[in-house]
């Protein structure tokens, strides 16, 4: 019976602490947007950091305009060099 006299006040303190922490979280906006973070994780915003040969949204054989320009510049440089032989 003595343990009940100890546990009842401890339980009341813990319940009061839980209610205070919950009301503090609600006032600070912790529960304002529950679905936003779950949807935000699905959006891929780092496509620019993915190397061209590892991208899955377009075939690796397809050259971008920058790659095509680089290839044309390389070909022009090779044509300007005199051939050895």
Q: What digits encode the pLDDT tens for the residues 22-80?
A: 999 999 988 888 787 777 777 766 666 667 777 777 655 555 555 555 555 555 555 55
User: Helices marked H in the chain — which ranges?
Assistant: 2-27, 36-40, 65-80
What is the pTM (predicted TM-score) of this model?
Answer: 0.43
Question: How far, in Å, CA of 73 to CA of 4, rounded?
Answer: 86
Among 19, 53, 41, smallest CA distance to 11 is for 19
């Amino acid at each position: 019976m003595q343990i009940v006299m100890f546990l009842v006040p401890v339980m009341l303190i813990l319940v009061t602490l839980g209610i205070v922490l919950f009301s503090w979280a609600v006032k600070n906006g912790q529960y304002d947007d529950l679905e936003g973070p779950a949807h935000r994780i699905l959006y891929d915003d780092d496509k620019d950091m993915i190397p061209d040969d590892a991208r899955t949204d377009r075939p690796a054989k397809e050259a971008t305009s920058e790659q095509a320009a680089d290839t044309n510049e390389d070909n022009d440089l090779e044509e300007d060099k005199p051939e050895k032989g």
